[in-house]
Amino acid sequence: MSLEYIKINSKDNNITVVKEDGLSEGTCIQNYNLVLKNDVPLGNKIAIVDIKKDEPIIRYGEIIGFADRDISKGEFIDYRAIHVNKIKDLDIEVPYLSRKTTNKENKDRYFYGYENPDGTVGTKNLLAISTNVQCSEGFVNKLIDYIEENLLDNYENVDGVVAVSHAYGCGVAINALNAEIPQRIINNIIKNPNFGGEVMMVCLGCEKFTHDMINSVSTQDVLVQQDASFEKSFNRAVEMAKERLERLNKRTRTKQPLSKLRLGLQCGGSDALSGITANPTIGYVADRLVEYGASVIFSEVTEVRDASNIILSRIKDRSLREKYVKEIRWYDYYLEKARVDRSANPSPGNKAGGLTTVIDKAMGSVAKSGSSDITDVLSPGEQIKKPGLTFAATPASDFVCGTCQVASGINLMLFSSGKGTTYNLTQVPVVKISTNNLLAKKWNDLIDFNAGDIAIGKTTVEEKGEELLDYIVEVASGRKNTKSDELGLDNALVVFNPAPIT
């Protein structure tokens, strides 16, 4: 029999509804000797004790907020009934807790990818055409359309042509405080393993962000539009593309150990089941891949900020703890300066899915990172330096976080969702993972992998995690396309720019 509700931690004073069509007013829950006082939708919370005004609401064994009013046993705990206090300062002295391994035998798993001269491995074989200024985007779009319509079929080993376009380069304070962030991101995107070192850059010629500021391209990779007419520039760009396509086409997939995977972890359109099903499954995969020697990064500062005690407890090195604190405090100041309201996160969609506060969201979000020690901390867009689990300090926006992770050098992304999103990147495969069965059924043509059965007790995190590992191998090897790729979905890259625009 399928479960209808779940209590995550023995300390919790509420349960979460996991029945697809919710639970109706008057439903008797004998385990807690209560009768529901309201209809409670999927993913939402029910008080299992009387909770007085200003008393804590406890989920995951952690305080996720405080009652705005008296809440009776059996009552639907709506987000409007909870408030959060001022954000806590970071405690760098949190005791270090060494992790337990999964105790699973690392069977002979491998994937087939494109080996690069620098030792990285691509899961795709792409020609990347970049801009250093937004003015050149139209030229690049027209060039890619031409290549796709007239050339690409001649290169069977090339997976596609992608734009690395952005809204930077002109009208920006090029030497301002924080200007290094967008510049680093653009520079590092071009180095992504899925591009195989075969990139070209289109410049206008009068921009502030000049091509000589970008060390990931050489002079022969650059075309300056103002050097010739549109037609001559376009024809030259086509010839440059052909040269690179020829080289890319000579590449073939070769057998690679899982240590060559560089996995990015992300979530969007989250619900209250995210921290019960999909995110723990992703966390299990993260731990397993770390055991295989792979590189895994998790991000989204505002959505893990309130779980910093958990994150810091997994950082052994003092200097690394200091870097984590420095990155988080930078972001705290960045948001405080703009008077950002903490109650604006979760989003309306998150709240409809049962997420009540930003702390509730953080506890579910951090589950994606598993339990491995954190071996490094990166600034936004910094490249992966070490195997193991890395925290990358990026914004939480799907588009901005994804762009930063591509810059960090991921070659595949796992993306969990409870409410659903059509977000996709062509630069890296994005595997969509559903937190609940309802979404998986409704979006069967968009969801790649469903973790919803965990909530109703039909399977376990470990079982789904091993299944997801095998699925990742198929996608990384090019034997299986993600459904978003099959549909041709593609979101633009969005470069994080906290510096002034002039």
The domain boundary, picked from 202, 228, 250, lies at 250
Phi and psi at residue 41, to the nearest 5°: -70, 165
354 and 474 together in one domain: yes
State the pLDDT at residue 245.
98
> Do residues 264 and 239 both lie within one domain?
no
Same domain, 153 and 225: yes
Q: How far apart are CA 369 and CA 308, in angstroms?
A: 12
Domain region containing 423: 260-487
Task: Let me know: does 327 contact 90? Beta carbons within 8 Å.
Answer: no
| Residue 103 vs residues 278, 287, 314, 392: alpha-carbon distances, Å | 21, 11, 19, 27
Both tokens of 225, joined, read 């539009």
Is the domain of 360 the same as that of 471?
yes
Same domain, residue pair 304 and 338? yes
Are residues 265 and 238 located together in one domain of the fold?
Answer: no
> Could you tell me if 217 and 280 lie in one domain?
no
Cβ contact 274:365 at 8 Å: yes
- Token pair, residue 439, equals 């979404």
227 in a structural domain: yes
Residue at 382 is within a domain: yes
Same domain, 192 and 242: yes
Tell me the C-alpha distance between 30 and 166, whole Å.
Answer: 56
3-state SS, one letter per residue, for 442-495: HCCCCCCEECHHHCCCCCCHHHHHHHHHHHHHHHHCCCCCCHHHHCCCCCCCCC
Which of 224, 250, 276 finishes a domain? 250
Residue 104 lies in a domain: no
Looking at the domain assignment, is residue 118 inside a domain?
no
**How far is the C-alpha of 374 from the C-alpha of 369, rounded, in Å?**
9
Q: Assign residue 472 the CATH number of its domain.
A: 3.40.50
Residue 295: its pLDDT value, please?
98
Domain total in the chain: 3
**Helix 180-189 and helix 398-408, axial crossing angle in degrees, nearest 10:** 60
- The three-state secondary structure class of 417 is strand
403 located within any domain:
yes
The whole-angstrom separation of Cα 327 and Cα 374 is: 15
Count CA atoms within 13 Å of residue 16 on its CB side: 27
Do 361 and 451 have their domain in common? yes
In a domain, 502, yes or no: no
Identify whether 102 is part of a domain.
no
With both helix axes pointing from N to C terminus, report the angle between 461-476 and 278-291 in degrees, rounded to the nearest 10: 60
Residues 79 and 192 in one domain: no
Tell me what pLDDT residue 340 has.
Answer: 86
399: nearest Cα among 492, 484, 331: 492
Tell me the CATH number at 55.
Answer: 2.30.130.110
* Alpha-carbon torsion, ordered 426, 431, 434, 438, to 10 deg: 60
Helix axes 230-249, 137-150, angle to 10 degrees: 50
φ/ψ region of 10 (left if φ > 0, alpha if ψ in -120 to 50, else beta) reads alpha
Phi/psi at 291 (5° precision): -65, -30
Nearest-angstrom CA–CA distance, 44 and 23: 10
Alpha helices, DSSP H, located in 26-159: 137-150
What is the residue whose two structure tokens read 């469903």? 450
Q: Which of 259, 357, 251, 255 is CA-nearest to residue 302?
A: 357
The beta strand positions in 197-284, using DSSP E, are 199-203, 222-224, 254-257, 262-267
Q: Do 337 and 481 sit in the same domain of this protein?
A: yes
Q: Burial level of 236, CB count in 10 A (0-12/13-18/19+)?
A: middle
- For residue 242, the surrounding DSSP H or E stretch is helix 230-249
Q: Which of 200, 217, 250 is the last residue of a domain?
A: 250
Q: Do 246 and 273 sit in the same domain of this protein?
A: no
Per-residue pLDDT of the chain (502 residues; tens, 9 = 90+): 689 999 999 999 999 999 999 999 999 999 999 999 999 999 999 999 999 999 999 999 999 999 999 999 999 999 999 999 888 889 999 999 987 666 677 778 999 999 999 999 999 999 999 999 999 999 999 999 999 999 999 999 999 999 999 999 999 999 999 999 999 999 999 999 999 999 999 999 999 999 999 999 999 999 999 999 999 999 999 999 999 999 999 999 999 999 999 999 999 999 999 999 999 999 999 999 999 999 999 999 999 999 999 999 999 999 999 999 999 999 999 999 988 877 678 888 899 999 999 999 999 999 999 999 999 999 999 999 999 999 999 999 999 999 999 999 999 999 999 999 999 999 999 999 999 999 999 999 999 999 999 999 999 999 999 999 999 999 999 999 999 999 999 999 999 999 999 8
Q: Is residue 456 part of a domain?
A: yes
